[in-house]
A and B are shown apart, each in its own frame.
Chain A
Amino acid sequence: MNAAAVARSIAPDAALSPPDEGRLVVPVALGDWEAAARALHADHRLPLDLLWATDDRAASGSFGLHAAFALDASHEWIELVTAVPGADPVFPSITPRVMAAHWYERAVQDMFGLTAAGHPDPRRLVHHENVPPGTWPLRKDFPWDAKLPWAAEPHPLATVEGEGVFQVPVGPIHAGVIEPGHFRFSVAGERIITLEGKLFFTHKGVEKLLEGRTAAAAMPFVERVSGDSAASHALAFCQAVEAVARCRVPERARVLRVLAVELERFTMHLHDVANICGMGTGFTLLAAGGFRVKERLQRLSARLFGNRFFRGFVLPGGTARDLGAPELDDIEATLDGAWAEASGLFQIGLESDSLLDRLETTGVLSRDAAWAYGAKGIAARASGLDRDSRRDHPHAAYGTLPLRVPVRTEGDVDARVRIRLDEMAQARALVARGAAECRRSQGAPWSAPCEPADGDALGWTEGWRGQILDWVRFRGGVIDRAVVRDPSFCNWPLFGELGPGNIVPDFPLCNKSLNLSYSGTDL
């Protein structure tokens, strides 16, 4: 069934415009919101990939509530839209039926002051105890530079009590050089009973800061949402902007973008495998070697893009520059060298019983949990959920390049490591094909004018961590509202599933196997 048929089945009376840029907008009444979402998720088995709100009170006196469900089979999205009256900002929570909505709805509560009626866990999410009640930063009447008084609101974390049960608070400041996040473990001896994270320490108001900016001015913010996914975040956001602007990106630019994103994927997977196997288990040989090889790829980025983090290359309309034959040779030679050395190194690890004993059966995420929580990327594919936006929602040049999506069913740390290794091999193949394509189309245009004026659109890509999904609305050439969703936002709650049952000293390994971004979640 394609999007139009699905939409007719859930909202027979809705006035539908034809699908546009792979997206079908289905407006429903607020009273039908929950039933429509339930039908899409439960009856049609469509995963919820994004849920967000907009402040449309100036135009219509109401808030907009949007939810994007993916039709992977027909490469489409269904965007459910409803209006929540500004005078009585309450909407029925879909979380009891669509569990993946749980964090989105809590974020909407904090940022817009809309109440998710019937949410089973309506605690604060983004706001910490120091934010006064009634602070709704993404409402249009909230100034971006508002100074808030210091409050002391309740901010309880889920814990278990009982004889022999201890609370272990970890963070927000950690011993390693990582971002801030607080974790509360309830443990009986070494066994984890429950754990909950408190994130959003690095909330910096990215979505608010994007409002009122042009697409070009927004790019530096978007690329820094999560520093390790600069190229993929840029790609997803640019595609949303281009969809609004009706900009046809030249074929060569699409291939060049794939090169940048796949190089980023290879680099970060290399880092992760070295970090999981090396630092996570103490097999430091793999960390020392892996990080050394990764350095070569970051230097490649410095040579190609002028920085070590694949930033500044993907721009609305195309790319910032062309890559000539010497640079393509450089890319391939660097990648081949890195792969030869890294694969030999990791082979040592994968042949070590002591390492495999640590990785196997650690941090198991069941397929049902991955589906229910709306897991993204590696976490989903290692637990048997066969989803990859590069194949399911083709974009850039992915539709024309051969791609085999590795899927495993074990759901443990070992599976996540092996998925990464498979994807590194895939990335190398994609870069080789892409580079050949670029040599063939030498001299073709690699940028097109892109002037978004009015309208909204989705933009997406499969970053190395998982699906990045953005939604952006332009009014008069500037951003009216932008939603940037890193896969980390969907995957953080997974720790509540894959942590319990493990022992405390294995938790860092579970953590590294997902390697989620704090900054990309906190926005």
Chain B
Amino acid sequence: MSPALLTLVQGAIVVALAPLAPGLVRRFKAVLQGRQGPPTLLPYWTIATLFRKETVVSQSASWVFLAAPTAVLASSLLAACVLPLVSRGGALAPLSHLLAVSGIWMLGSVFLVLGGLDPGSAFGGMGASREMTISAFLEPALVVSLAALAIASGSPAVDAMMDVAGRGLLLRPWLLPAVGGLALVALGENARYPVDNPATHLELTMVHEAMLLEYSGPHLAILELASAVKLATFALLLANLLVPAGLLRAGAGPLAAAAAVPAAIAKLAVTMGGLALVESGMAKLRLYRLPEFFFGALFLGLTSLGIGLMAGFK
């Protein structure tokens, strides 16, 4: 399998499995809370249904509103292609420089914010302002955590960080805080507890969903898919950092590619189970408490980075 094909296969697998991630977390949460819950595959149906529905656009919205979902999806897809999720060493792997990756996600956030602001509704504006505040706190934490891993792997590419994943982490325990910081960033970036509540109907408390309120039809489907892809990306990245097994390499045959799918599903299931545990056992943080959460993530990353720099660990 050539590196280019590897990247394509990875992108296809992640997109195909992405709606499973929110489906799984909803299912696990329902089980944990003693509810029956919706079908696990419901997000697939939701997205398919939305694609068939008509789009209603506010009269005060401009082309930005209509273009934003595509840009958001592009950012999610690009991140899903460059990062080591089901394969390593793909054609786009050199693009996975930690600053590039955080920039790609930031780009998605910016377009989401623009899309939320554009129609001029109160909730979109509120969600946009909150999203920008959160992004400003999350970005440094993401960069610092990845930088700590980069010191260990000797390369700023996230793809190369798989060298120090799994057993490598146990050999370098000073990296564990950075992985913890990355997990906290993942909660924030994906609008999960304790930062945001993806299941709420309370408009006044929403962050991510508030920016989506004005969207309908295919545009909403694209945004739903984009956030599912982003959730799956973070889930697989974190899972691979802990257990880098089952990653496709260049030269792998079709059989290996087929085996990568159940491995990815297993990783999604475990991370979503953990997410469901977090989301069932606590309340959402008060909005003004969020900086404490983000600084926690930042300092976890800084701890690893500091130890790594000072001790010159390789």
Q: Which residue of B lies closest to A505 (CB)?
A: B205
Q: Is the CB of B289 within 8 A of A357?
A: yes
- What residues of chain A lie closer than 8 Å to B289, measured between beta carbons? 357
- Distance of A501 Cα from B123 Cα, bound (Å): 20
Asked whether A281 is an interface residue with its Cβ less than 8 Å from the other chain, the reply is: yes
Q: Is the CB of B281 within 8 A of A285?
A: yes
CB distance from A351 to the nearest CB of B (A): 11
Q: Which of A154-169 contact B (CB under 8 A)?
A: 166-169
Q: Is the CB of A504 within 8 A of B126?
A: yes
Q: Is the CB of A284 within 8 A of B122?
A: no
Checking B205, B280, B288 against A284 with a beta-carbon cut-off of 8 angstroms, the contacting residue is B280
CB distance from B289 to the nearest CB of A (A): 7
The 7 closest A-B pairs by CB, nearest first: A282-B284, A281-B283, A288-B33, A505-B205, A354-B282, A283-B283, A282-B197
- Distance of A283 Cα from B126 Cα, bound (Å): 23
New contact pairs (5) apart from A170-B122, A357-B283, CB-CB < 8 Å: A167-B122, A174-B201, A189-B129, A282-B193, A357-B285
Q: Is the CB of B201 within 8 A of A354?
A: no
- What residues of chain B lie closer than 8 Å to A503, measured between beta carbons? 286-288
Q: Which residue of B lies closest to A167 (CB)?
A: B122
CB distance from A183 to the nearest CB of B (A): 9
Q: Is the CB of B199 within 8 A of A284?
A: yes
- What residues of chain B lie closer than 8 Å to A354, measured between beta carbons? 194, 282-285
- A284-B33, A289-B33, A292-B34 known; A170+B204 contact, CB < 8 A: yes
Checking B201, B283, B285 against A176 with a beta-carbon cut-off of 8 angstroms, the contacting residue is B201
Give me 17 A-to-B residue pairs in the complex whose CB atoms sit less than 8 angstroms apart, sorted by A's number. A168-B126, A170-B122, A170-B204, A175-B202, A190-B288, A277-B283, A282-B200, A283-B282, A283-B283, A285-B280, A289-B34, A352-B282, A354-B284, A357-B283, A358-B286, A503-B286, A508-B204
Q: Which residue of B lies closest to A283 (CB)?
A: B283
Asked whether A506 is an interface residue with its Cβ less than 8 Å from the other chain, the reply is: yes
Q: Is the CB of A352 within 8 A of B283?
A: yes
Asked whether A507 is an interface residue with its Cβ less than 8 Å from the other chain, the reply is: yes
Q: Is the CB of A288 within 8 A of B204?
A: no
Q: Which residue of B lies closest to A175 (CB)?
A: B201
- Distance of A357 Cα from B286 Cα, bound (Å): 8
Q: Which of A479-505 contact B (CB under 8 A)?
A: 503-505
Q: Which residue of B lies closest to A288 (CB)?
A: B33
Q: Which of B32-75 contact A (CB under 8 A)?
A: 32-35
Q: Is the CB of A506 within 8 A of B286?
A: yes
CB distance from A174 to the nearest CB of B (A): 7
Q: Is the CB of A169 within 8 A of B122?
A: yes
Asked whether A131 is an interface residue with its Cβ less than 8 Å from the other chain, the reply is: no
Asked whether A355 is an interface residue with its Cβ less than 8 Å from the other chain, the reply is: yes
**Contact indicator per residue, chain B 188-214, by CB within 8 Å of chain A (1) or not (0):** 000001100101111111000000000
- What residues of chain B lie closer than 8 Å to A288, measured between beta carbons? 33-35
- What residues of chain B lie closer than 8 Å to A166, measured between beta carbons? 122, 125
Asked whether B29 is an interface residue with its Cβ less than 8 Å from the other chain, the reply is: yes
CB distance from A76 to the nearest CB of B (A): 43
- What residues of chain B lie closer than 8 Å to A282, measured between beta carbons? 193, 197, 199-200, 205, 283-284
- Distance of A169 Cα from B123 Cα, bound (Å): 9
- Distance of A357 Cα from B287 Cα, bound (Å): 11
**Contact indicator per residue, chain B 13-40, by CB within 8 Å of chain A (1) or not (0):** 0000000000000000100111100000
Q: Which of B112-144 contact A (CB under 8 A)?
A: 122-123, 125-126, 129-130
- What residues of chain A lie closer than 8 Å to B283, measured between beta carbons? 277, 281-283, 352, 354-355, 357-358
**Contact indicator per residue, chain B 268-285, by CB within 8 Å of chain A (1) or not (0):** 000000000001111111
Q: Is the CB of B193 within 8 A of A285?
A: no
CB distance from A285 to the nearest CB of B (A): 5
- What residues of chain A lie closer than 8 Å to B285, measured between beta carbons? 354, 357
Q: Which residue of B lies closest to A353 (CB)?
A: B282
- Distance of A190 Cα from B283 Cα, bound (Å): 20
CB distance from A92 to the nearest CB of B (A): 40
- What residues of chain A lie closer than 8 Å to B279, measured between beta carbons? 284
- Distance of A285 Cα from B278 Cα, bound (Å): 11
- For A170, A176, A284, A354, the residue with the greatest tally of chain B CB atoms inside 10 Å of its CB is A284
- What residues of chain A lie closer than 8 Å to B197, measured between beta carbons? 282
Q: Which of B272-314 contact A (CB under 8 A)?
A: 279-289
- A169-B122, A354-B283, A503-B287 known; A285+B202 contact, CB < 8 A: no
Q: Which residue of A lies closest to B30 (CB)?
A: A288
Q: Which residue of A lies closest to B200 (CB)?
A: A282
- For B35, B123, B285, B286, the residue with the greatest tally of chain A CB atoms inside 10 Å of its CB is B286
- What residues of chain A lie closer than 8 Å to B204, measured between beta carbons? 168, 170, 504-505, 507-508
- A166-B122, A168-B126, A505-B204 known; A285+B286 contact, CB < 8 A: no
Q: Which residue of B lies closest to A361 (CB)?
A: B286
- What residues of chain A lie closer than 8 Å to B205, measured between beta carbons? 282, 505, 508
Q: Which residue of A lies closest to B197 (CB)?
A: A282
- What residues of chain B lie closer than 8 Å to A508, measured between beta carbons? 202, 204-205
- What residues of chain A lie closer than 8 Å to B194, measured between beta carbons? 354
- What residues of chain B lie closer than 8 Å to A352, measured between beta carbons? 281-283
- Distance of A170 Cα from B205 Cα, bound (Å): 12
- What residues of chain B lie closer than 8 Å to A505, measured between beta carbons? 204-205, 286-287
Q: Which residue of B lies closest to A291 (CB)?
A: B35
Q: Which residue of A lies closest to B122 (CB)?
A: A168
Q: Which residue of B lies closest to A512 (CB)?
A: B202
- Distance of A15 Cα from B204 Cα, bound (Å): 55
- A505-B204, A508-B202 known; A190+B287 contact, CB < 8 A: yes
- Distance of A280 Cα from B284 Cα, bound (Å): 9
**Contact indicator per residue, chain A 176-216, by CB within 8 Å of chain B (1) or not (0):** 10000000000001100000000000000000000000000
Q: Is the CB of A170 within 8 A of B203?
A: yes
Q: Is the CB of B288 within 8 A of A176?
A: no
- A168-B126, A357-B289 known; A285+B32 contact, CB < 8 A: yes
Q: Which residue of B lies closest to A349 (CB)?
A: B283
- What residues of chain B lie closer than 8 Å to A277, measured between beta carbons? 283
- A358-B283, A503-B286 known; A284+B125 contact, CB < 8 A: no
- What residues of chain A lie closer than 8 Å to B203, measured between beta carbons? 170, 174-175
- Distance of A352 Cα from B35 Cα, bound (Å): 21
